[in-house]
Copies of this chain bind each other. A is one copy, B any other.
Amino acid sequence: MTLNELKAIQLAELFSALSDANRVRIISTLLEKEMNVSDIAEKTQMSESAVSHQLRGLRQMRLIRGRKSGRQVFYSLDDDHVKKLYLMGLDHVKHG
């Protein structure tokens, strides 16, 4: 039952990926539908560069994935875990 060190680090990294309000807003935006970088930037009121940097971290943690189409990249949530983590967190914040 005891957590090994590698898993502890990986878990911490996963939660780190969601530990910034801008990234949370990006995830929230992607809950509805896939979106390209400039749309995400507009929706979240961030610079495209900042968005791109943040997307990179989210990609590395496999929270989102990108689908390239021409010169645009459409991002969406990687799997259902992400949505569940987000919603459970929101639930805790709301009535925790």
Contact = CB atoms under 8 A, between A and B. Distances in A.
B88 A84 contact: yes
Interface residues of A, number: 43
Contact of A96 (B9, B31, B62, B91): B62
A25 B8 contact: yes
Nearest to A85: B88
Interface in A48-96: 62, 78-79, 81-82, 84-86, 88-94, 96
A83 B86 CA distance: 14
A85 to B, nearest CB: 6
The 7 closest A-B pairs by CB, nearest first: A15-B18, A16-B19, A3-B28, A81-B92, A8-B21, A12-B21, A19-B19
